[in-house]
């Protein structure tokens, strides 16, 4: 009985407009405020493997959808891009999500994992900036770990299949 009561109350509160679990991608700012905040924000932190090198994330340009964000993992590394897509919910409320593009092979677990690993640093930069708090590398690590663990069985299956295919090719080449 208590379980049913909780479900009924939660449903009634949701219908009444109360967010029991707030959307972490929704912020109390207009789209112009979000664009300005993201363009002005800079995140700089040392790399884990080389404290002399710095990871840098910054707003590079305003776009039709929001703000293009750039990131460099080191001074010698290429620049990665991701777009902070801004959707107006109300005049003073916006949803902001990181759109880092998609790989061309969505059937591959490895490709999906590589694709998913691009977003967490940008997502944390957005959240830290718009929540006016320090960048939390632990949030990034948690998202990355969850993604890898979710896709690990499929990636292992792909690796085994690739090894089997390679063994067949070597065997066929050895018979010639």
Beta bridge partners of 94: 27, 88
CB half-sphere exposure, 64, CA atoms < 13 A? 0
Domain segments of the chain: what residues?
Answer: 25-171
Q: In what order do the strands lie in the sheet with 54-62?
A: 26-27, 93-99, 79-90, 66-72, 54-62, 42-46
Per-residue confidence (pLDDT) for residue 173, from 0 to 100 = 86
Tell me if 57 sits within 8 A of 42, measured CB to CB: yes
Element of type H or E holding 120: helix 119-130
Tokens 């800079």, residue? Answer: 42
Q: pLDDT tens digit string along 33-88?
A: 999 999 999 999 999 888 889 999 999 999 999 999 999 999 899 999 999 999 99
Q: pLDDT tens digit string along 9-44?
A: 555 555 555 667 799 999 999 999 999 999 999 999
- The mean of the pLDDT values for the chain is 88
Structure tokens at 53: 């090198």
Per-residue confidence (pLDDT) for residue 17, from 0 to 100 = 59
Largest distance between two CA atoms of the chain: 74
């Amino acid at each position: 009985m208590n379980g049913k009561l909780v479900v009924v109350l939660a449903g009634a509160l949701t219908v009444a407009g109360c967010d029991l679990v707030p959307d972490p991608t929704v912020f109390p700012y207009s789209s112009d405020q979000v664009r300005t905040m993201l363009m002005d924000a800079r995140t700089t932190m040392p790399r884990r493997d080389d404290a002399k090198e710095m990871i840098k994330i910054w707003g590079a340009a305003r776009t039709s959808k929001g703000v293009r964000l750039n990131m460099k993992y080191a001074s010698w590394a290429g620049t990665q891009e991701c777009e902070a897509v801004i959707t107006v919910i109300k005049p003073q409320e916006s949803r902001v999500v990181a759109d880092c593009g998609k790989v061309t092979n969505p059937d591959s677990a490895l490709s999906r994992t590589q694709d998913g690993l691009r977003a967490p640093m940008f997502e944390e930069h957005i959240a830290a900036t718009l929540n006016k708090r320090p960048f939390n590398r632990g949030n990034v690590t948690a998202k990355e770990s969850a993604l890898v663990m979710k896709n690990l069985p499929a990636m292992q299956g792909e690796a085994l299949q690739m090894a089997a295919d390679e063994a067949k090719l070597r065997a066929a080449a050895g018979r010639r």
